[in-house]
Structure 1
Amino acid sequence: MRFSLTRHHRDDGLVTLAPAGDVDMDAVDPLRSAIQDTLNTPDRIAVVVDLARVTFLDCAGIGALVAGRNTAVSRGHRYTVVNPQRQVRLVLELTGVFTALTGRHPQPAPVTGRTARAQRSRRHRDDRRVATTPSTAGVYASPHG
């Protein structure tokens, strides 16, 4: 998907940057420039990068987001990344930058009905394997006598 970027300024110093499309090597320069330009504006105290419409994020895009965070922190500005789609969120989590960029800890995936049934089925199969293995009675002494 073709890259685009919108910028929304509020009077209270909050700027929201909303990239859309693929944030890859070809699109990273406009994103990096927008983040850094926003942070260089003296009256900006908070930057939000809204990834709701980002469909792909590579290491160059992650680098731009992290560089923006580091600049913001060094200048005492607030900076956060919000609304990453599932695939983008996974990339941020796997690279270890999710918490630093979003301020939130990754949450485990919810257990759906299908997942819960598969886990119960797996446990049941494991229980049957244990029950059908040869008896090991007497191999281990009980610590209680």
Structure 2
Amino acid sequence: MERDARGAHLDTDGDAIILRLAGEIDLDLVSEMRPIVEVEIGRRDCRSVTVDLGAVTFIDCSGLSFLIAISRLAGEQRARFRLVNVGARCARVIELAGLAEVLGLRGRREPS
């Protein structure tokens, strides 16, 4: 199954969910995508949640909150959560917010 919204593409394949985010991850995008993502992660067969930040140019506090919520929901389902393609800007915002460990970025380095 695939679902799209401005700046987001959600793809599910069996027990895996891949959320590709792009552009500005702000309150508008989060308000649209959060209910969709929550339903998909809540499926009992979800075992893997990957969030691709490779095309993100901006993330605000609502975007950070969204990532934390996704991580927690995945944990409740005993699904593996991971962020991939985290650019330098996003990594810096996540680190400054003190969320690197919570979101699994502690000790990881990815290309800018």
- TM-score, length-scaled by structure 1: 0.64
Is 1:66–2:68 an aligned residue pair?
A: yes
Selected match of 2:88 from 75, 86, 89: 86
Report which of the two has the higher share of strand. 2
The question of whether the paired residues in 2 share the 8 Å contact of 1:98 and 1:106 is answered with no
Q: Which amino acid aligns with 2:97?
A: T
- The count of aligned residue pairs is 105
2:13 aligns with 10
* C-alpha separation in 2, matches of 1:105 and 1:34: 31
**1:19 to partner: Cα distance:** 1.1
Please list, as runs of the form range in 1=range in 2, the aligned pairs for 1:10-89 lying within 5 A after superposition: 10-11=13-14, 13-89=15-91
Percent identity between the two aligned chains: 29
The question of whether the paired residues in 1 share the 8 Å contact of 2:50 and 2:81 is answered with yes
**1:86 to partner: Cα distance:** 1.2
* C-alpha separation in 1, matches of 2:53 and 2:36: 14
Structure 2 unaligned blocks of 5 or more: 1-5
The question of whether the paired residues in 1 share the 8 Å contact of 2:30 and 2:66 is answered with yes
Coordinate RMSD, CA, aligned: 1.9
- TM-score, length-scaled by structure 2: 0.81
Higher relative CO (Cα under 8 Å, sequence separation at least 6) belongs to 2
Greater Rg, structure 1 or structure 2?
Answer: 1
Q: State the Cα deviation string for residues 81-132 of structure 1 (Å, max 9, x = none).
A: 111221111000111112221354255xxxxxxxxxxxxxxxxxxxxxxxxx
